[in-house]
Structure 1
């Protein structure tokens, strides 16, 4: 038994044989159309429990801001797509390092989880990890109800379904919205009705729906209305609060919604503010929208109309798509640089936003907030993502990951590094960590002339007699470090506490007694770096910063009870996954870590969650192991591991392989080569190829390259073997060798194309055969599956291959690439033959070479259009290769 932490005592073991009849599919975040919402019940939704937040909304402190221009009155609402799509969002993070781990919560008062599409679903609650992160930072997070414009697939019947009312006056959809928010644990809904076709009666019904929602929700829930639908029922963006839309905010003295997001094209805001006041509402209930989706901090904004010089702000600020910082970035490092400039300005200092550039950062106008108002306070500077994972300085995972549920409270000020010389450079760094995936790195040339005062956190923490402060750090130099504390009675002055200036290997923790300051309130935390001698390559990692009372009990958490695998699934005999659940421990538990025990006895972190359920992502069997042990370890608020429970998964019998392969082309000229790719199941240990008239004629390579010198049609055979058996596949007449091979061209280019649907006139079938992937030239289809695209080649041709350029080829998100499709051919357009059947594709471009066949008509049948549940097909080009 391996020790995993200082508080890890012993192990409870449960042995479970997982049945292949119960499938442990990846749980995804929810999304619905109105009829699906009304039918939703968490008891019958197997993914629902995975989508619950366990973190309550924290209180925040505002206080005085560090920026002289910033004011407390206006609020900030951000409409942010924190995940790349509506569908296919894993409920508890994933094994990818690159993710939109938003960290500038201190400048946001409400965050709208922006999502929804006509092809996936239009009612979207926030994913559980984003709720956890928002609540930890004291920010209410709000789901989206999005009725799309007709051109984007919107159907007015969805509006009608949403507004259905019972004879008793209740609205079933409104009741479900409240139920969803209460069950999942988030804070309200953003209602965006942009589908054309409404009437005056519909507008009145919408007002009644909103009023019902407002009066039946909990007091902590917030409803936001978007400036789109008017009192006439039409879609007409007012870019203001006026008589045409005011009834959706306030009507006859009654509050209809909590706030309104004004569309982006405002030319003045004072009339909207006056209208709000005349209704008895605060002008800060209005959020003047700015659209930064395309240009981010290069967006031109008339800031003086919202924040006039020398005058109070006119309204609050609404920011549409600040996720631009992530979407436009080339790397995670670039993302954090862009996000810093967006929120703090080009100076990279929230206290000094003075610049000639038009974009001064959001910190220029609004005061930062902080949730750090209670002990214990501990941060590991964990961004909620990493390239590795560490527990108390020990690496327990060597692969990328993201899970915003694990994000720490990050520095309030990024960055205020005061120095008389060139200050040291602080960054959030993923190269090393004490607990989680990142740490605070401070580096540069350090001397007494450029001693650097790094102000980090705004706080309100009362010091007790037993309060202690600890810093965990790692450096190759002397630490040359002090900790700074500012107190409420003198907030502009810092007291500096010395850290022992001695070298040490690995992570070192220094604990400081704060008893001399008993009764004082800490309002700011900082680090101070100074040295008598110049250090040219100074660098230090700050792994943990904590303030806690030492007299609080430190009894380790007990093992979880009733740990079990409720569902499981195996694939190809070597991949397995499972859904785990256990009884939740008390509130001392911060999260649970799940480990896989490797055959050598070492432990590898699979993931972590604050929930009491966890999906174990697909694991690969190691060396034909008969069973795999999984451990669940609770972790308390001090990041101390408790006792572990264990469950054992037994693998099925090791399978024999299933043989399969493909050729990169099937029509070649004499003397040309063909590359064959083995597609047999992964358990294959040996390959035996036979190539009719090929050179070589036989091969044991996994990816043989074969030359065919004589004209003719030839077969290929592959036998795949392992210790459990073998399997053989023969593809007759697969390779055609002909002198005409050089005449192969795209037979579909410019030909007549038809399809089941089109998303719009500019996205019809002909755009899939126009030879272009630029300028958004594509065929797009919405509606019921399967989607189909048919091409008339004009005459019969010899066909040898198909090339499909999916969504990513046109610059769209890779999650929109076609997953499953079938290609059929026909001579008469009536009788069809399947020639390709692809499942599980994720590539931006695919090539399917087939044995030469004569046909006039070709049909692409799309059975799963995307990587998730989006039912919209997106094909930028469909090429038919042949003679």
Structure 2
């Protein structure tokens, strides 16, 4: 048996098996590497087009749409076809291992600013293979997507030389057929190579191949475009920054011999170069807008001189690059925090400000400057909209395909369909992204308001954003919020010819506030004439949980006219919070698609979180071999992905546009049958009909290859003396183990051959070890091992307070469901336990840095001896997290990111890695030491980093809770285990350095934590000294140079004074400056929190009660940690829940009372109730609560006697019936039981 000692403190572990299930290596096979593509293409056959079994993940099923121009719906009317810049995003997508393949990670890239992109070159996508999801979303927006030959700089090495020669000799018809079948829109080349011996022969061969391919593709794909990086010239030599000349004009291609668009290197910013390039392009009959001026977003290039202020004057387009593995918008989206939703929102802000403008409204005509900033607070950036129009593809025959948008981005933390929650698993599939608002947030006080004066600037006005807390379909939608007397949001730029009878649907949900709202439709023949359709009135009674549908039929006013613009007019908006669910135009009805034909299914992974799976299918069609078949050809909008365990109800896991699908974390009933199958159904183009589910033939065994989670968890995060608690395996299928708890080496509790240990209480405060002997995952096997979780349990005194706990929650003194009449007062009461107290005060890091200048600490280099000690309680982890760094954020890249030293904690592995770096450039020596540490969210840990400097070299040591941490491995030239025996001369030094806690850096998060009692010593601490430092509040400790206990408030500039010496420490933010990574630490107001329970102080811990009662009026409420109450009323009948949350600085507890039944008013006009049933109306829904068994027939008549709705059902006990009526009015409801009329009642449906 093996033993493992872990240094940790707290309540649960979070190993990698509990992270979100996601796309893993081997789930989907790409088929070949980039350099292998030309040979695969040469051997490819249209009659047998298959590359591998996973082809359907790489075949586009959306035919490329073509964009249109309409100057009347542009924001800037001075931009014409002659100067309307194009933009190629030659950028990586997401992360290299996944690209745009469907994933189980919510925080994935779902780029949405397509109207400002004319080509996406997928930089981390090898030549000749592109994920279908990216192709589909780009094609619906009229954007071509190309793959990239990542040829390295320098002499053309033999592998790529052979590949390019092979490509140039492929039969053109075969190449065109391949590109057409898979739906690929061009080739891209990192062409910065030199042909030292072939003198341009290879380059010219590829050029000729491009010319002929373009001719062949012209009739097949109207948006096809190749892209050539303007390094390698026609003669095969590298020559950057000369513009379009005789040396590269044939690579660009004259009219009729177009070869590839040119992507200029980054020193194009000279007037002569741009003008001569324009002149040269025109002289060979080409549009200079197909020349792209390169922008290096990572390196900030062009580095000097004018950029945008020069480029705006020339009809040369924009090319974005950066970097090799992730684009800059996505890569550093953690600037505002590491929570996945925060990162998604930050990414959205970065792209919206870059493309539409710093204000996210292109009407705010910001001055064009030369900034290359791309951060979330890029407020002053003019944006790409200042030099190009927002382009649209929304123009096709509505008889062939309806227009439908649910405002879904293509990712989510859950999945909704028709407004109903289908599962709560995270997902990402950009291929199902909807058509989204064209200009992004074009708000104006008047219709087509194009001037800044048309935008409210007095602090009022509306705003809009994407949210991920609700959706009609998918996992996201648009919300509009704010106050305004009158304002327009311009939604879609279109060119649809309308016909009489077309159905226009607008769907929304009012989450809060009031407003008048109208849908405004503008036609191409008169864009200034409003066609208004009222969808919301200020007087409407709204329901925050209900999607409202408004449908209009096109009549003679709009029939046979072209719809040019769709807007939403808001008037009298007061604290409005409006969610959008759908905008659609549907002509007639569309056929039900045929049932898909399943080719194969696979179970890929099974664990506590659920099951991962894959399905590949085809659709019946009449296309020949190698011919493209689009979803519109098979009458399909999208496909539903289903999973079914045993005979349980099928679960809808998501949707896809591809003929293949992925399933992630499918929920599994561990007590149910041990098999699962996967299926798919096809949905009609109008989303109204659906094929039968086609199920895979294989029933997959869920538990044959089950991946156990070894996570353990306590049921309490803060434990008091003599308070009972339980620690257990989280995985219900985990094998039993032997548990024991030790205090100072003495066993105080055991539980053998069990999945948990229950403790009635421990009397002494302090730290306890948990020793668990059982099965663990090791090298792919289940191995018996003893694991010691040092200081896992902490017992803290009653005096410092506790996590609140709700012992009981009642309504009108009842613990279960109650019934009341409308407007009757309900009294909610709770009883809790003692949770208030007082103790030390700390500060929240809030994923921002806490730092001090090294100059104030007396540090002149990092080879001096010093130690930093503090208490820390992590709230959560979302990936690699920075703990201690020393760097100067204001210097140039990349030293502003590396600095003198940095340290990263990986919560998936429990490894804390400290890196010391020399000052040299790339390839500098790095000294890395790693320790095993399991920081546990919710638990306090004492952290001490000690640097054993001798004046010329240094060596690090780590203590956790006063004990030397377990050193695992090191790297310094070579690799080793344990502590590195060598020392390091850390000459990487800047006098402007900041010693930071939670400083954060490129691709890693700052800390989501609370820290307390920060101490800096000008000496190297021993283990004994680190132990003494934990509990000591003595300012006279030996070597103590600075000490911040946070008991006194920060000063007016937000600096904390040290109790020793003059050093000042501040919480703040890294505010971005000019250049990549350049920033400055700006102090901000600290947020105080309960500090370490093992240090004295005077911070008051006070419990508050928060009541959540949807659709209720809370008349009054009071309470503390021990007891409290609330009085509330309900105006309308229905079933309601009330949630109570008790919270304080230590944590919270939540309980929900179910259910308060509000009965209908027992008068004939509003509702009725008999001994065995109740009938009442809510808005346009008629509801029946049936209490006794029988056969019932419910029929609803209009006042003129017409039957409008009915339902028959057999009830065994009690049941509920809901019938929805299409219009408001007075109705007669007749209910028969066992053939006899039980009740007839008149109801008003509003």
TM-score normalised per structure 1: 0.69
1:66 aligns with 2:78: no
Report the equivalent of 1:337.
Answer: 349
Is 2:784 the counterpart of 1:729? yes
Distance of aligned partners of 1:573 and 1:177 in 2 relative to their CA distance in 1, 3 Å threshold: farther
- For residues 524-603 of structure 1, the aligned pairs below 5 Å read 524-531=565-572, 536-549=574-587, 552-560=588-596, 562-563=597-598, 565-569=600-604, 576-584=611-619, 586-597=633-644, 601-603=648-650
Q: 1:224 to 1:63 in 2, by over 3 A?
A: same
In structure 1, the partner of 2:548 is: 508
Q: Distance in 2 between matches of 1:75 and 1:658?
A: 52
Matches of 1:439 and 1:573, distance apart in 2: 30
Q: CA deviation at 1:516?
A: 2.7
Q: Residue 347 of structure 1: SS of its match in structure 2? A: coil
**Among 261, 276, 279, the residue aligned to 1:274:** 279
1:772 positional shift: 3.2
Aligned partner of 1:386 in structure 2 is 412
Which of the residues 379, 394, 412 maps onto 1:372?
394
* TM-fit CA distance, 1:265: 0.6
- Point out where structure 2 has 5 or more consecutive residues left out of the alignment: 1-23, 335-342, 371-380, 446-453, 621-632, 713-726, 758-770, 791-897, 903-912, 927-964, 979-1002, 1006-1246
Secondary structure of the corresponding residue to residue 425 of structure 2: coil
Instruction: Sort the Cα spacing of 1:555 and 1:178 in 2 relative to 1 into closer, same or farther, 3 A.
Output: closer
Q: Tell me if structure 2 keeps the 8 A contact 1:225–1:259.
A: yes
Residues in 2 aligned to 1:525 and 1:290: alpha-carbon distance in whole angstroms? 34
How many residue pairs match? The answer is: 702
Please name the residue that 1:79 is paired with: 89
- Aligned counterparts of 1:297 and 1:344: Cα–Cα separation in 2: 22
Which moves more between the two structures, 42-51 or 616-625? Answer: 616-625
Q: CA deviation at 1:545?
A: 0.8
SS of residue matched to 1:237: coil
Q: Which one of 221, 238, 241 corresponds to residue 238 of structure 1?
A: 241
| Alignment map for 1:415-494 (pairs within 5 Å) | 415-419=441-445, 422-446=460-484, 450-475=485-510, 476-477=512-513, 480-494=516-530
Distance 1:246 1:769, change over 3 A: farther
Task: Choose from 80, 105, 109 the match for 1:100.
Answer: 109
Determine which of 307, 326, 329 is the counterpart of 1:302.
307
Asked if 1 retains the 8 angstrom alpha-carbon contact of 2:203 and 2:235, the reply is no
Aligned residue number for residue 198 of structure 2 = 201
Counterpart pick for 2:916 among 764, 771, 783: 771
Structure 1 stretch 264-273 or stretch 73-82: which is displaced more?
A: 73-82
Q: Which residue of 1 aligns with 2:259?
A: 257
Q: Secondary structure at the match of 1:34?
A: helix
Please tell me whether the aligned partners of residues 129 and 405 of structure 1 are also in contact (alpha carbons under 8 angstroms): yes
* Aligned-partner Cα distance in 2 for 1:581–1:639: 22
- Cα gap change, 1:377 to 1:658, in 2 (>3 Å): closer
Which of 588, 605, 608 lines up with 2:655 in the alignment? Answer: 608
Q: Distance in 2 between matches of 1:292 and 1:843?
A: 19
8 Å contact 2:422–2:651 — kept in the other structure? yes
Deviations 1:194-246, CA, capped at 9 Å, x for gaps: 24x52262412211222124314522332222111134433331341123333
Are 1:240 and 1:262, in contact at CA under 8 Å, matched by a contact in 2?
yes
1:291 to 296, 301, 312: 296
Cα 1:626–1:496, aligned 2, differ >3 Å: closer, same or farther?
Answer: same
Q: Which residue matches 2:1119? A: none
Q: In structure 2, how many angstroms separate the alpha carbons of the residues matched to 1:55 and 1:317?
A: 26
Rounded Cα–Cα distance in structure 1 between residues aligned with 2:349 and 2:663: 33
- Larger Rg: 1 or 2? 2
Q: Report how far residue 432 of structure 1 moved.
A: 1.4
Residue deviations 1:297-339 (CA, integer Å, cap 9, x gap): 999852243222xxxx332222224942222323111211121
Residue ranges of structure 1 left out of the alignment (5+ in a row): 1-22, 117-121, 664-676, 705-715, 736-762, 781-798, 807-820, 826-841, 845-883
Q: 1:553-579 deviations in whole A, cap 9, x for unaligned?
A: 24544533x435344456689975443
Question: Partner of 1:859 in structure 2?
Answer: none
Residues 1:56 and 2:51 aligned together? no
Does residue 211 of structure 2 align to residue 214 of structure 1? yes
SS in 1 for 2:53: coil
Q: Cα deviation per residue 1:372-391 (whole Å; 9 max; x = unaligned)? A: 11322111111112222211
1:614-651 residue CA offsets vs partner (Å, 9 max, x unmatched):
23346464314322243423222222351331347545
Q: Distance in 1 between matches of 2:698 and 2:542?
A: 42
Which residue in 2 is equivalent to 1:878? none
Question: What residue number does 1:688 align with?
Answer: 738
Alpha-carbon contact 1:225-1:257 (below 8 Å) kept: no
- Identify if the C-alpha distance between structure 1 residues 498 and 287 changes in structure 2 by more than 3 Å, giving closer, same or farther: same
Cα deviation code 1:850-871 (max 9, x no counterpart): xxxxxxxxxxxxxxxxxxxxxx
**Contact in 2 for aligned 1:384/1:403 (Cα 8 Å):** yes
Which residue matches 2:133? 129
- The 2-side partners of 1:696 and 1:657 are apart by 34
Query: Which region of structure 1 is more displaced relative to structure 2, 463-472 or 576-585?
Result: 576-585
Structure-1 residue corresponding to 2:1128: none
Aligned to 2:149: 145
* C-alpha spacing 1:396/1:205, structure 2 compared with 1 (3 Å): same
Deviations 1:336-369 (CA, angstroms, capped at 9, x unpaired): 1121111111232223323375541111111222
CA distance in 2, matches of 1:89, 1:149: 24
Alignment CA distance shift 1:804-1:474 (3 Å): farther
Pair 199,410 (structure 1): closer, same or farther in 2 beyond 3 Å: same
Q: Residues 647 and 127 (structure 1 numbering): CA distance in 2 closer, same or farther, change over 3 Å? A: closer
CA distance in 1, matches of 2:36, 2:428: 33
Partner of 2:828: none
Task: Tell which deviates more after alignment, 346-355 or 391-400.
Answer: 346-355
Instruction: From the superposition, tell whether residues 442 and 46 of structure 1 become closer, same or farther in structure 2 (CA, over 3 Å).
Output: same
SS at match of 1:337: helix
Question: Scaled by the length of structure 2, what TM-score is found?
Answer: 0.50
Q: Deviations over 1:418-443 (max 9, x none)?
A: 22753221222222111122222111
Q: Contact 2:31–2:52 (CA<8 Å) still a contact in 1?
A: no
**What does the per-residue CA deviation read over 1:55-87, in whole Å, with 9 as the maximum and x for residues that have no partner?**
000121121122144332244232343523433
Higher RCO structure (Cα 8 Å, ≥6 apart) = 1
- Trace 1:775-854 onto structure 2 (pairs within 5 A): 801-803=967-969
Structure 2 CA distance for partners of 1:691 and 1:523, relative to 1, 3 Å: closer
**Contact 2:226/2:259 (<8 A) preserved:** yes
| Farther-moved stretch of structure 1 (186-195 vs 355-364) | 355-364
Q: CA deviation at 1:542?
A: 1.6
Question: For residues 706 and 61 of structure 2, what CA distance do their matches in structure 1 show?
Answer: 44
- 1:796-823 Cα shifts (integer Å, max 9, x gaps): xxx97423689xxxxxxxxxxxxxx998
